[in-house]
Amino acid sequence: MAEKCFKYVILGGGVAAGYAAREFAKQGVKPGELAVISKEAVAPYERPALSKAYLFPEGAARLPGFHVCVGSGGERLLPEWYTDKGIALILSTEIVKADLASKTLISAAGETFKYHILIIATGSTVIRLTDFGVQGADAKNISYLREIDDADKLIEAIKAKKNGKAVIVGGGYIGLELGAVMKINNFDVSMVYPEPWCMPRLFTSGIAAFYESYYENKGIKIIKGTVAVGFTADANGEVKEVKLKDGRVLEADIVVVGVGGRPLTVLFKGQVEEEKGGIKTDGFFKTSVPDVYAVGDVATFPMKLYNEMRRVEHVDHARKSAEQAVKAIYASQQGNSIDEYDYLPYFYSRSFDLSWQFYGDNVGDTVLFGDNNPTSPKPKFGSYWIKDGKVVGAFLENGTPEENKAIAKVARVQPLAESLDILAKEGLTFACKI
């Protein structure tokens, strides 16, 4: 096979890849200089849609509706966009070997790609129960959600098992969003997770209590403090029961597993410096290897605001880190400099009629404010995190765009808090006056 050579290669086809491609176009990349290599069969799209509107029974999101960069209010980059810009969009191509020393990538089909500058945007892969040898975890209708193919399989199962029983394994982002979406699809839903409350990496027990009660009021059964240890299947090999560690057995027509992800860095092991499970970069997303950048989920970068190295798995960081790396590439070629990445952590989720946003760091003491009664017609509440007398993090359910901007500002500015009691009393007013 003929070797293909490009000045720039983006390896990966997720959100970061799409936003990097757009930034290359903005910077004036010439036709034929850039290739995007993805193992997926479709052009980069906004991945968060998969656990939300893609699975709705009515008015579902479909491609080309959510190709990047619509998630941040930008132009939709359809496959034709790449063609028009002279960007090679190389799909359904899995890279199985990367030799950074010789600047060579080799695909499963044996194709060779050479590059001058590489952006690693390989993202994460889901953690599967089969990885731990969980008995029966390879039964049919046990689903994971990472790529559009996964979502399509889940939609088929939803249609085939209409009004059946769904068990959600995991109480994080994916668990909560899929629990809601399966209920909207009229399934009898149970959620199982080992922690004492949902979303423990971010939520306090007070925040979590609201969401758990809200879900229970919608008819979702929540089973905490235990894990799935095995599955039984029927004669067709389709899952029919979930065995829990505490001895309980749940009937299931569909199981959806959301127990976290792992950054896809295996191709680069031993070739590039790593830290905290990711590829170590500087504030421009340069790795320890010249001409190699890493962005999105795979990058462990200096978080300026907190003066420490962190790895962030979130769509917002995927978008912004991709743009930063491409700007840095062009600046260095032109002998210019740009500011180091200065990221404010941001997370959000939407399920049922709920929508929350969080900014900053969830460390230190916390105060809860507002109306967190799950039976309120329009609950609106939030939380602040206080460390060393300063407010370092803020969470808000059901905020307006202005209010969400206000809590973001609080997390960035880190104002002093007189006392926890005053902060709890002032609530959202505190943020709005900063």
Contact 233, 239 (CB under 8 A): yes
Q: Are residues 157 and 234 in the same domain?
A: yes
Is the bond preceding 5 in cis, omega lying within 30 degrees of 0?
no
How many other CB atoms are there within 10 angstroms of residue 65's CB atom? 14
Residue 368 lies in a domain: yes
User: What pairs with residue 166 in β-bridges?
Assistant: 189, 254
Q: Which two tokens stand for residue 362?
A: 């969830």
Domain's final residue, options 300, 333, 366: 333
Q: Are residues 266 and 386 in the same domain?
A: no
Domain's final residue, options 216, 237, 259: 259
User: What pairs with residue 45 in β-bridges?
Assistant: 67
Domain's final residue, options 259, 277, 308: 259
Listing DSSP states for 88-153 in one string gives EEE-S--EEEEETTTTEEEETT--EEEEEEEEE---EEE--GGGGT-BTTTSBTEE--SSHHHHHH
Q: Are residues 252 and 266 in the same domain?
A: no
Q: Are residues 273 and 254 in the same domain?
A: no
Contact 273, 282 (CB under 8 A): no
Long-range contact pairs involving 280-284 (C-beta distance under 8 Å, separation at least 24): 280/309, 282/340, 283/340, 283/341, 283/342, 284/324, 284/325, 284/328, 284/332, 284/338, 284/340, 284/341
Is the bond preceding 44 in cis, omega lying within 30 degrees of 0?
no
- pLDDT for 2 equals 77
Residue 38 C-beta-side C-alpha neighbours within 13 Å: 22
Sorted by sequence, the CB contacts under 8 Å of residue 333 that are 6+ apart come out as none
Listing DSSP states for 160-179 in one string gives HTTT-EEEEE--SHHHHHHH
Residue 313 lies in a domain: yes
Q: Which two tokens stand for residue 365?
A: 């003491």
The enclosing domain of 370 has a CATH number of: 3.30.390.30
Q: In the chain, what is the greatest distance between 2 CA atoms, to the nearest angstrom?
A: 70
Q: Which two tokens stand for residue 8?
A: 């720039």
Alpha carbon dihedral 170, 261, 303, 99, in 10-degree steps, equals 180
Minimal CA–CA distance to 396: which of 418, 372, 420, 376? 372
Residue 339 lies in a domain: no
Q: Are residues 158 and 190 in the same domain?
A: yes
Q: Which two tokens stand for residue 174?
A: 């994916």
Residue 342 lies in a domain: no
Q: Which two tokens stand for residue 411?
A: 């997390």
Domain that holds residue 308: 4-125+262-333
Terminus-to-terminus CA distance in the chain, angstroms?
A: 61
Residue 343 lies in a domain: no
Contact 259, 129 (CB under 8 A): yes
Sorted by sequence, the CB contacts under 8 Å of residue 113 that are 6+ apart come out as 3, 4, 5, 6, 9, 35, 37, 90, 95, 104, 105, 106, 107
Contact 187, 165 (CB under 8 A): yes
Q: Are residues 219 and 276 in the same domain?
A: no
- pLDDT for 420 equals 96
Residue 227 lies in a domain: yes
List the chain pLDDT tens, one digit each, 434 residues: 779 999 999 999 999 999 999 999 999 999 999 999 999 999 999 999 999 999 999 999 999 999 999 999 999 999 999 999 999 999 999 999 999 999 999 999 999 999 999 999 999 999 999 999 999 999 999 999 999 999 999 999 999 999 999 999 999 999 999 999 999 999 999 999 999 999 999 999 999 999 999 999 999 999 999 999 999 999 999 999 999 999 999 999 999 999 999 999 999 999 999 999 999 999 999 999 999 999 999 999 999 999 999 999 999 999 999 999 999 999 999 999 999 999 999 999 999 999 999 999 999 999 999 999 999 999 999 999 999 999 999 999 999 999 999 999 999 999 999 899 999 999 999 999 98
Q: Are residues 231 and 172 in the same domain?
A: yes
Q: Are residues 217 and 184 in the same domain?
A: yes
Residue 341 lies in a domain: no
CA distances, 353 to each of 58, 214, 374, 378 (Å): 16, 10, 12, 9
Q: Are residues 255 and 268 in the same domain?
A: no
The enclosing domain of 179 has a CATH number of: 3.50.50.60
Q: Are residues 143 and 118 in the same domain?
A: no
- pLDDT for 40 equals 98
Enclosing H/E stretch for 16: helix 15-26
Counting the structural domains of the chain, the total is 3
Burial (Cβ within 10 Å: 0-12, 13-18, ≥19) of residue 226: middle
CA distances, 221 to each of 124, 179, 263, 289 (Å): 29, 10, 31, 50
Contact 331, 384 (CB under 8 A): no
Q: Which residues of 235-255 are buried (b: 16+ CB within 10 A; e: fewer)?
A: eeebbbbbbbeeeeebebbbb
CA dist 126 and 146 (Å) reads 7
Q: Are residues 155 and 106 in the same domain?
A: no
Q: Which two tokens stand for residue 276?
A: 């905290």
Residue 346 lies in a domain: no
Q: Are residues 170 and 250 in the same domain?
A: yes
